[in-house]
Chains A and B, each alone.
Chain A
């Protein structure tokens, strides 16, 4: 069974860069799947951040594109998220996700809470 696990700091200071990594088990990130990030502010709905395909082709939510970078590391079977210039509005549970299609996501990590605060 494919497993995704997020890792990274749970607390980030305002104006700094949020960095998270997703480790994928039992499926290569170069297997023709789309891998992505979705976030959920506490008590609110879901927001797609972006996706990466075959560790190269990326798509981003236009509302976040200027601050977001998603990259892949095939040697570690991981993909990562960077969000620059964070504010309190970036406080959320961040989920890493994956699927063979870009149109929806079957595989989800458990999520990790990132709080932006000084």
Chain B
């Protein structure tokens, strides 16, 4: 079973700052199967990044994803007020194939 560990648990930043969120897999995974979601209170999650580094439709280019092997990163280049939310990484794979989420990182206003 692949476990995804996200860090930090909470990130306190100011608008305009850069946010770097980490997602570490318990074993090496295919980067093609890594995704990132944003969830705001009371809303469903929204797909931000798929295949590790591709932006989903309508996602601003201040969001970017990178990584390989066991370490993946979501970067928000300049935080906008609407970016303060919880972010989840997600992987699909393993045997039997399972879709797994990390525990989430909350990006809060400092």
Q: Give the interface of A toward B (CB within 8 A).
A: 36, 45-48, 51, 59, 61-62, 95, 101-106, 108-111
A-B contact pairs, 18 of them (CB 8 A): A46-B101, A48-B98, A48-B100, A48-B101, A59-B96, A101-B50, A102-B97, A102-B99, A103-B32, A103-B50, A103-B92, A104-B35, A105-B47, A106-B47, A108-B46, A109-B44, A110-B44, A111-B44
Assess whether B44 is in contact with A102, with CB atoms less than 8 Å apart: no
10 further A-B contacts with Cβ under 8 Å, apart from A45-B103, A108-B44, are A46-B45, A46-B88, A51-B99, A101-B50, A103-B32, A103-B35, A103-B50, A103-B51, A104-B50, A104-B92
Which residue in B35, B43, B88, B97 is a CB contact (below 8 Å) of A59? Answer: B97
Given contacts A47-B101, A59-B97, A62-B98, contact A102 B92 (CB under 8 A): yes
Assess whether B101 is in contact with A45, with CB atoms less than 8 Å apart: yes
Q: Tell me which residues across on chain B come within 8 A of A106, comparing CB atoms.
A: 47, 50, 56-57
Q: Tell me which residues across on chain A come within 8 A of B97, comparing CB atoms.
A: 59, 102
Which residue in A48, A102, A104 is a CB contact (below 8 Å) of B47? Answer: A104
Assess whether B98 is in contact with A108, with CB atoms less than 8 Å apart: no
B90 interfacial contact with A, CB 8 Å: yes
A-B contacts counted at CB < 8 A amount to: 54
Give bound CA distance, A30 to B3, whole Å: 32
Give bound CA distance, A3 to B70, whole Å: 34
Name the CB-closest residue of B to A95.
Answer: B44
Min CB distance B27 to A, Å, is 17
Q: Tell me which residues across on chain A come within 8 A of B46, comparing CB atoms.
A: 108
Give bound CA distance, A91 to B16, whole Å: 38
- The residues in B between 23 and 53 inclusive whose CB is less than 8 angstroms from any CB of A are 32-33, 35, 37, 43-47, 50-51
Give bound CA distance, A34 to B10, whole Å: 32
Max chain A C-beta neighbours (<10 A), residue from B37, B43, B98, B100: B98
